[in-house]
Amino acid sequence: MTPAQWDLFQRCARGEEVDVPPVALIIDSPWLPGFLGISTLDYLFDPVVWLNANLRVCRQFPGVIFLPGFWAEIGMTAEPSAFGCRVSLYPDRTPVAHHVIHGMEELGRLPQPNPLSDGFLPVLLNQYRRLEPAIKDHGHVVKMVAARGPLTTATHLMGVTNFLLALKIQPAETHHLLRITTRLTREWLEAQAEALAEVEAVLVLDDIAGMMSAKDYREFAHPYLKEVFDAFPGAVKVFHNDTDNPVSYPFLPDLGIHVFNFTHLRPLAKVRELVGPDLCLLGNVPPLEVLAQGTPEEVTASARDCVAQHPAKRGLILSAGGGTSPGTSAENIRALEQAGGWR
């Protein structure tokens, strides 16, 4: 993002009024290589291709704030790779991490990873260090770093079903696992912030926090998410959870977050009611049915509906109700861009 875009984003995040909501989209390797017609392997592992790809979409859509912005990532496999997960790589789709444990009885095999030395993490840190000067030379800044949250990382290690089952029948072991993954999430964000010169925001993505009852969320999700966000007291904090389960919404202000990206399946007005008046909402045009598969006219109508549901001049950034889906076209992004207020 440009310095002007960052200034606008953080103003919205901190509750300042704007005349028309700006537009922002979370973009990463599931969408970007296919959109540009390049190999996923080239995008992920050739730094020049990665840099030019991000610059191309920034030039093509100057009215969109891309989040986190110039994201050095390996799909959803960066954090699992630090634990020793085998990763399969493909030229035309995102990588896949394979489970490294199958039950809590194998928990003792898990190391406490070091983001400076383990898996893909040092490779990504090196990419940031090498390319940040070139990013700045093109008029952009990397103000935000991102990580998969503690619960999502845990499920990549052992599978969603095994993790949720263990949560009910092996709670002590589940807490032990979450202490390990929480530390990795926090230290990975800290390592990225140290590798870059001007980081002022963190983005945590954790959908598994939305697959629980309110009771389980309070015990197994909230304390660990809060630990991660509390580690960055001066930062703008962004949380992504686009599962269709609102039980966590009333607890989100206690996380200390500023921006919440949520599902399109919940009416924006209802989400505002549940999270309270202060969080900035990032959403919530349907990412697949409308933004990827709809017409530009349908995108425009959905964006206008979001604005109509949120008449206040503070606390809304137009976006997808989740990340940018593969297949999302330039025409539809432009329709969303034109519905917003940043130029």
Which CA distances in Å does 12 have to 23, 275, 314, 343?
A: 11, 16, 7, 15
Residue-wise pLDDT tens for the chain (343 aa)?
Answer: 999 999 999 999 999 999 889 999 999 999 999 999 999 999 999 999 999 999 999 999 999 999 999 999 999 999 999 999 999 999 999 999 999 999 999 999 999 999 999 999 999 999 999 999 999 999 999 999 999 999 999 999 999 999 999 999 999 999 999 999 999 999 999 999 999 999 999 999 999 999 999 999 999 999 999 999 999 999 999 999 999 999 999 999 999 999 999 999 999 999 999 999 999 999 999 999 999 999 999 999 999 999 999 988 899 999 999 999 999 999 999 999 998 765 4
**What pLDDT does residue 57 have?**
98
SS3 319: strand
- Strand residue runs (E) in the chain: 23-26, 64-67, 87-88, 96-97, 144-148, 201-205, 236-240, 259-261, 280-285, 316-320
pLDDT tens digit sequence for 12-49: 999 999 988 999 999 999 999 999 999 999 999 999 99
* Domain CATH for 287: 3.20.20.210
DSSP codes joined into one string, 212-242: S-HHHIIIIIHHHHHHHHHT-TTSEEEEE--
The total number of structural domains in the chain stands at 1
Residue with tokens 């992004």: 333
Distance separating alpha carbons of residues 118 and 79, to the nearest angstrom: 9
pTM (two decimals): 0.97
Q: What is the pLDDT of residues 60-77, one digit of tens each?
A: 999 999 999 999 999 999
Determine the Cα–Cα distance for residues 179 and 16; give it in Å rounded to an integer: 36
Half-sphere exposure of 142 (CA within 13 A, CB side): 26
Domain that holds residue 165: 3-339
Burial group, residue 59, by CB count within 10 angstroms (0-12, 13-18, 19+): exposed
Distances from the Cα of 166 to the Cα of 31, 104, 214, 222, angstroms: 33, 7, 17, 17
Q: What per-residue confidence (pLDDT) applies to 343?
A: 40
CA distances from 29 to 77, 79, 324 (A): 11, 15, 10
pLDDT digits (tens, 9 = 90+) for 103-137: 999 999 999 999 999 999 999 999 999 999 999 99
Q: Which DSSP string corresponds to 26-66?
A: E--TTTHHHHHT--HHHHHH-HHHHHHHHHHHHHH-TTEEE
Least Cα distance to 134 among 5, 44, 48 occurs for 48
